[in-house]
Structure 1
Amino acid sequence: MNTGDLAWVLISAALVWLMTPGLALFYGGLGEKRNLLHTMFVPVVIIGIASIVWFAVGYSLAFGGEGTVIGNLNHVFLTDVSFTKSTKGLTIPDGAFALFQGMFPIITAAIITGSIIGRVRIKAMIVFMILWLIVIYTPLAHMVWGGGFLAQFGAIDFAGGTVVHISSGVTGLVLALLIGHRHNDKHIPVRPSYVLIGGALLWVGWFGFNSGSALAANGTAVLALVNTWLASSASVLTWGVVEYKMRGRATLSGITSAGVAGLVVITPAAGFVAPWAAVVMGLIGGLVGFAGITFVKNSFGYDDTLDAFGIHGIGGAVGAILTGIFADKSVGGVAGLVNGDVSLLGKQLVAILFTVVFVTIGTLILAKITAVIAAPLRLTEEEEERGYDAIMHDLIVE
C-alpha cells in the first residue's frame, strides 16, 4: 500500500461527498421560492439513502465478481472487503476504493431530483431512488468500471460521463415526461448567491471527482485535475459570451451553470486527453450546456425543472463522444480519432446508445413499480401551487 495514494483517495472521497450539499444549494438557488427548502432537503435525504444502499448491496453488485452485466453478493454489507490490502491491483486497500466509489451514486441520484422537484411526492421519490440505485446504477457501474460488458467492449469513461451524467440526465428526462408539466410555473431563480456557493462547492468537489478517479497520487491525477480546471474555465467564457449575445446580459447563475457544464463534458475524458483538448472540450461544453437548457428544451417542450437533462444528460453524451475524438495515447494511454484511430469513437457511440436505452427502459419500469408501491407519484394541483415548503416544512412563502 502507498500512503500518499491512500491519502489522496480519502481526500478525494470527502470532496466528492461535498458535491451533494453543494448541489442542494445550487438547485435551491435555481429553483422556485415555494420549494426552496424542499429542493435542498431532498439531496441531503439521498446522502442517507444512497450511502446505506451502497453499503448493503451496491458495492457488491457493482464491483463483486466478474459478471458481464452485474456483480455478485459476496461483499454485501462490505463483507470480506479488506481495509489493509488490495485485491484489485491498486496501491490502496479495497475499503478505500469502496469508500471513494460509494460517493458517486449519491451525487448521481441527487442530480436526478432536479428534473422533477416540486411535483413528486417525497415517498415516491424515496422508493424510486432505492430501486434505481440497485437496478440501474450498480449494473452501469459494473459494466463500465467493474470489468463488465462495456469495459470489455472497449468503451472508456474516466470518471462518470455515462455512469453518472448520462444516466442521471436521461432518468430525469424520462420522469419529467411521465409526470408532466408543472402547474402554474413560478420558476424564477431567487437566490443567485446560493447558486454561486453551491456551484463553488460542486466545482471544488469535482476536482476530487475527476482527479481522484486516478485512484493514486500520480501523473494521471495531475492531468485529470489540470484538464478539469481548464475545461470548466473555458466553458464559463463561451456560455457567458453566448448568453450576452442572446439575452443582452451575462448572469451570475448562468456562468456558474457554465462551470458545471464544462465539468460534465470533461468528466469522461479527464485522464485521457491533453490539456489543449480539454480547453476545446470546455469551449464546446459551454455552447452545448446553454443550448441544452434553451433551444433543445424549448424546441421539444419538456419540463426539466432544473435542467438535469440539459446539463448532465446532453453534456455527458457530448463529453463521451469528444473523448472518442480527443483521447491521446501519449498522455492517457488510449488512442482516439486525433491519433488516427476511429474505432474508439464508434465504441463510445455504442456505449452512449446502450446507456440511453438501458436507463430509459429501466426508468419506465421502475416508475411503474413505484406507482404501485407509493401512489400517487405526483402532488395535486392545489398541493403543487401551495409548495412543498408549506406542505412538509411548515414554511409559509409569501
Structure 2
Amino acid sequence: MNFDVGSTAFMLIATSLVMLMTPGLAFFYGGLVGRKSVLTIMMQSFVSLGITTILWYTIGFSLCFSGDIGGIIGNLDLAFLRGVTINDAHSATNNIPLLVFIAYQMMFAVITPALITGAFADRIKFKAYLIFEVLWLLIVYFPFVHMIWGGGILAQWGVLDYAGGIVVHATAGMAALASVFFVGKRKSTKTEPHSVPLIAIGTALLWFGWYGFNAGSELQVDGVTAAAFLNTDIAASFASITWLIIEWKVTGKPRFIGFLTGAVAGLATITPAAGYVGQGTAAIIGITAGVICFLAVEFKNKKGWDDALDVWGVHGVGGITGVIMLALLGNVAVNPAGANGLFYGGTNFFLVEVGAVLFAAVYGFVISYIILKIIDKFVPVRIDPNDEAEIDEVVHGETAYLI
C-alpha cells in the first residue's frame, strides 16, 4: 500500500500532540490543587495512559470502530487488533495506515476519563477510580465514539462532532458533575492552587496539544486541517482575553489563573466546530466560551457544588456550548463535509445536533452516577474525610515536596 507520506507523518505528529495533552492535564490539575494532593491528581491522569491503552488494544477500538450492534456499539471482530496489518489503510480517501488511526483515537480515549478527575480532587480512593475509569469507558465513552465517529445511529441521523464536543467534553463534563453530587463536598474547600507556574505549564501543553486534537481530526492535510488549526488558536485567544476582562471587572484584578482557565474553556468550546466554521465564527465562539463558562463557574460557586477544578463549568458547559454554536453557525462553504447551521437554513441539523448533545449530557450524568453507586457497594469510593489533608501520603505513600 502506498500511503500518503505527508498525511501519515502529520497524523503521527498529531497523535503525539494528543498524547502530550494527558501529562499537560496532569500539570494543569496538579497546580490547581494543594501541595498535599499533587501526586494523587497527577497519578489519576498518568495512569490513564496505561489503563486506557490496554483496554483500547484489547477491546476498545473494536467496540468503537468494528461492526455495528443496534447503532449503539461495535463488535469484537477486531479485539486485540486481530487481523490488522501494517499494510491496512484507514480508508481509500485518507490513505493513512489503519494503525495510525488506531493510535490517534486511542489518545482521545486516554485523556477523556482523566478530565473527570478534577471534579473529585482530594476525595476518591485510587482503586475505586481505576474501576470507574474502566466502566466509564465501556459504558459511556465507547458507545458515543461508535454512535458518532464509528458510523452508529447518531452519525446516521446527521450528528456532527468534529473533534469531541459531544464525545469527549459533554460526556466527561457531565460525568464530573455527577461525581461531585455523589462523592459530596471536601471536608475543607479552602484549598488554594499551590503552583501557578504548574498551571501555566499545563495550559501551555494543553494548548499545544490541542492543535493535534483539532487539526488532526481531519485525518489528512488539506485546507480544512489549516482552518481547524487556526480556529483552535483564535477561539482560545478570544476566550482567554474575554475571561480575563470579565474577572478583572468583577475582582478588580487581572488574574493569571483566570486567563489560563479561559483559554482551556475556549479550546473545549471550539472542539466540536473547529473544522466546520470560519475564522470569524471561531472568534465569536471564543468570546461566547469566555462569557458562558465564566458564568457557569460563578453559578457553580453560588450553588456550593464542590467541583474542585471546574470540570463541569469549563469542559461540560464548554463542550455543550460549542455544539450549540456549531448547530447555529456551521457552514458548508467552509467544509462541504459539514452542515449548515440554523443561521444558514439548517433547521434539521440544528435540531439533531442540539438533541444529541442534550442526550449525551443526560446520559453521561445519569450513567456516571449509577456507575459510582454500584462501585461504592463493593469498594468505598470516597476516602476518609480526615485523610483528605494528607491524601498523597495516605493513598500513595509519597509526597510531591520534601518540605
Deviation track 1:55-95 (CA, whole Å, cap 9, x = no partner) reads: 11110000011330000001111112233232533311211
Instruction: Tell me which of 60, 63, 77 is aligned to 2:62.
Output: 60
Cα distance in structure 1, aligned partners of 2:165 and 2:360: 10
Is 1:110 aligned with 2:150?
no
Residue in 2 that maps onto 1:135: 139
Residue in 2 that maps onto 1:309: 312
User: Offset of 1:382 from its aligned partner?
Assistant: 1.3
User: Offset of 1:390 from its aligned partner?
Assistant: 4.9
CA contact (8 A) 1:37 1:389 kept: no
CA contact (8 A) 1:162 1:355 kept: yes
Matches within 5 A, 1:66-81: 66-67=68-69, 68-81=71-84
Corresponding residue SS for 2:240? helix
Instruction: Tell me which of 61, 83, 86 is aligned to 2:86.
Output: 83
Matches within 5 A, 1:85-100: 85-86=88-89, 88-89=91-92, 90-100=94-104
Structure 2 spans left out of the alignment, 5+ residues:
none
After superposition, the Cα gap between the structure-2 partners of 1:259 and 1:286, relative to the gap in structure 1 and judged at 3 Å, is same
User: Offset of 1:290 from its aligned partner?
Assistant: 1.4
**Percent identity over paired residues:** 38
Matches within 5 A, 1:351-362: 351-362=356-367
Please identify runs of 4+ aligned residues in structure 1 that moved more than 6 A.
none
Question: Normalising by structure 1, what TM-score?
Answer: 0.96
Cα distance in structure 1, aligned partners of 2:4 and 2:47: 34
Is 1:350 aligned with 2:355?
yes
Question: Structure 1: which amino acid aligns with 2:227?
Answer: L
Residue in 1 that maps onto 2:19: 17
CA contact (8 A) 1:235 1:283 kept: yes
User: Offset of 1:397 from its aligned partner?
Assistant: 8.0
Question: Structure 1: which amino acid aligns with 2:55?
Answer: V
Residue in 2 that maps onto 1:6: 8
CA contact (8 A) 2:37 2:390 kept: no
Corresponding residue SS for 1:330? coil
Cα distance in structure 2, aligned partners of 1:255 and 1:98: 34
Question: Structure 1: which amino acid aligns with 2:373?
Answer: K
Instruction: Tell me which of 204, 220, 223 is aligned to 1:219.
Output: 223
Structure 1 spans left out of the alignment, 5+ residues:
none
User: Offset of 1:340 from its aligned partner?
Assistant: 2.0
Count of residue pairs brought into register by the alignment: 396
CA contact (8 A) 2:228 2:274 kept: yes
Residue in 2 that maps onto 1:331: 334
Matches within 5 A, 1:237-256: 237-256=241-260
Corresponding residue SS for 2:151? coil
Matches within 5 A, 1:199-238: 199-238=203-242
Residue in 2 that maps onto 1:367: 372
Instruction: Tell me which of 16, 39, 43 is aligned to 2:41.
Output: 39
Deviation track 1:210-255 (CA, whole Å, cap 9, x = no partner) reads: 0000000111111100110111111111111001000111211110
Deviation track 1:277-302 (CA, whole Å, cap 9, x = no partner) reads: 000000111112211222x2023321
Residue in 1 that maps onto 2:268: 264
Residue in 1 that maps onto 2:50: 48
Question: Normalising by structure 2, what TM-score?
Answer: 0.95
CA contact (8 A) 1:38 1:389 kept: no
Residue in 2 that maps onto 1:188: 192
User: Offset of 1:341 from its aligned partner?
Assistant: 1.8
Question: Structure 2: which amino acid aligns with 1:55?
Answer: Y
Cα distance in structure 2, aligned partners of 1:361 and 1:39: 24
Deviation track 1:127-168 (CA, whole Å, cap 9, x = no partner) reads: 110111111110010001000011111111000000000111
